[in-house]
Structures are given as structure tokens and as C-alpha cells.
């Protein structure tokens, strides 16, 4: 159990820190067929990554969200939010992983797996749970290729948030995703390997100029294994 968290932490500690000043000058375009859930630095980028980045709003119901929170809360409550390490890639968080779930939650996770991963793709057994405090945020990083495969799929509980993807060697190329509460995001292939991803802190949480307040947020993240 400890292995996955340690591996992910190692991946996070390799975070790439990117200057954000270029964003102000960038052209923001929305992609109509993604229901205005993504804005990016150019139409070309939105088209290029359109098939590798998905956001499905309302993927789970309020009742399903409550079932997940109810199952996760007792374990999370035993841990403290970690704020102290200024150089960590995640600030203000507590985390755990879970291998076995009650039937209601297992059904939800099976739905996630069936839409996010190709049939037969070997999956990372434990599901990663990240609980971000209202003041918490995730800095730009690329998940370790040693421990995680081509696809990352995450449910967002309790809060809306903004996920930002930035090309690793070309920070003018970026994409913002509006992750509404109870949505599912999926990041695949180049978007997963060549772009950092991050969750913006509350004070920076704007989507296409619109303020998106961040509350405490729990993410439930499924990954496949590297081939």
C-alpha cells in the first residue's frame, strides 16, 4: 500500500515549475464541442488535445458523491493536512489509497474504469485519494512514467476547480479545464506525458476570466499501469 503513495510523491517532487506570465497575453478560445469546459492558448492546441483530454460533467449523482465521501471520510479524518513542506508539489493535502470498496462505490469506480481505459488495459489496483484543503493546491507536475501508464482519470468531489495543463518545454502552450463538482476528467497519451498538470489555488481559480471558487476538494483518481 505504501508503495504507490511513495512513488507518486517521488513523481510529485520532480515537479516542473513554470512561469505563468505568458498566460496574460495568450488568446483564450473555447471549444464548443467540449461544452465550454476547456480553454487554451490556441485553437490548434484545443483540436490537437481534444481527443486526449475529456471532462464529463455530472458523471456522478449527488447521492453517489455522498456515498464516496461517506466511505472515505473516516480514514481521511485520521490524517492531518500537510502544509509544512514548501517544496512539495502538493500543498495543503492529505491522501490515501483504497483497494476495496463497498458495493455502491465499486459500481461508480467500475463506470469510471469502463469509460476511461481501453478494455483489457491493466490497471493500478489501488485508487488514489487526494483531499485538498480549501487553501491547498497542486503544483505543475507530470506523473511518473515508471509507476503510471498512459491514462489518468479523476472524479472531483465537494468542489469545482481548475486543472491547468502546460506543455513541458513550451510554456506558451496551455489548456485550462473546468472541473465541476461531480465531474470526471480523463487525460491520455501526449496530454499526460508531455504536459504538466496542476490544480489551481483558490485565489488563482478563474476559468476564461470567470471566478471559480475553490472549496475543500477530494479527488478519486484511477490510473493504468505502464506497459
Place of cell 478494455: 119
Closer CB to ligand AKG, 18 or 138, in the complex: 138
Whole-angstrom distance, CA of residue 71 vs CA of residue 102: 8
As measured in angstroms, the least distance from the Cβ of 120 to ligand AKG is 24
Min. distance of Cβ 218 from ligand AKG in angstroms?
8
Position among 55, 219, 222, 224 found at the interface with ligand AKG (CB under 6 A):
219
- Binding-residue pattern over the window 41 to 80 for ligand AKG, x denoting contact by CB under 6 A: ----------------------------------------
Half-sphere exposure of 186 (CA within 13 A, CB side): 21
Beta carbon nearer to ligand AKG, 133 or 143: 143
CB of 25 vs ligand AKG, minimal distance in Å: 26
Which residues within the stretch 133-192 sit at the binding site for ligand AKG (CB under 6 A)?
138, 143, 154
Q: Select from 124, 199, 212, 222 the one that contacts ligand AKG (CB under 6 A).
A: 199
Q: How far apart are CA 172 and CA 26, in angstroms?
A: 8
Q: In this complex, which beta carbon is closest to ligand AKG, that of residue 101 or of residue 185?
A: 185
Q: What share of the chain is helix, strand, coil (3-state, %, to 5)?
A: 30, 35, 40
Contacts to ligand AKG from residues 96-135, by CB under 6 A = 128, 130
Q: DSSP string spanning 48-114?
A: HHTTTEEEETT-S-HHHHHHHHHHHHHHHHTSPPB---TTSSEEEEEEEEES---HHHHHHHHHHHH
Query: What is the per-residue burial (b if ≥16 Cβ within 10 Å, else e) of 53-75?
Result: bbbbeebbeeebbebbeeebeee
Taking the complex as a whole, how short is the minimal distance between the CB of residue 118 and ligand AKG, in angstroms? Answer: 20
Binding positions for ligand AKG, rule: CB under 6 A? 128, 130, 138, 143, 154, 197, 199, 219, 221
Amino acid at each position: 500500500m505504501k508503495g504507490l503513495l511513495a512513488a507518486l510523491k517521488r513523481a510529485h517532487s520532480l515537479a516542473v515549475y513554470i512561469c505563468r506570465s505568458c498566460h496574460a497575453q495568450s488568446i483564450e478560445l473555447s471549444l464548443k464541442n467540449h461544452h465550454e469546459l476547456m480553454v487554451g492558448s490556441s485553437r490548434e492546441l484545443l483540436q490537437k488535445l481534444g481527443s486526449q483530454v475529456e471532462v464529463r460533467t455530472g458523471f456522478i449523482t449527488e447521492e453517489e458523491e455522498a456515498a464516496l465521501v461517506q466511505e472515505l471520510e473516516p480514514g481521511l479524518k485520521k490524517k492531518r493536512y500537510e502544509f509544512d513542506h514548501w517544496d512539495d508539489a502538493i500543498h495543503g493535502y492529505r491522501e490515501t489509497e483504497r483497494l476495496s470498496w463497498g458495493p455502491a462505490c465499486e459500481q461508480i469506480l467500475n463506470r469510471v474504469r469502463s469509460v476511461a481505459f481501453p478494455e483489457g488495459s491493466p490497471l493500478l489496483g489501488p485508487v488514489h485519494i487526494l483531499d485538498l484543503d480549501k487553501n491547498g493546491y497542486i503544483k505543475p507536475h507530470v506523473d511518473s512514467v515508471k509507476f503510471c501508464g498512459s491514462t489518468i482519470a479523476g472524479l472531483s468531489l465537494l468542489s469545482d476547480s481548475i486543472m491547468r495543463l502546460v506543455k513541458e518545454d513550451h510554456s506558451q502552450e496551455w489548456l485550462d479545464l473546468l472541473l465541476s463538482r461531480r465531474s470526471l476528467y480523463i487525460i491520455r497519451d501526449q496530454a499526460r506525458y508531455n504536459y504538466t498538470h496542476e490544480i489551481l489555488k483558490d485565489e488563482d481559480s478563474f476559468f476564461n476570466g470567470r471566478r471559480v471558487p475553490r472549496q475543500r476538494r477530494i479527488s478519486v483518481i484511477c490510473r493504468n499501469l505502464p506497459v
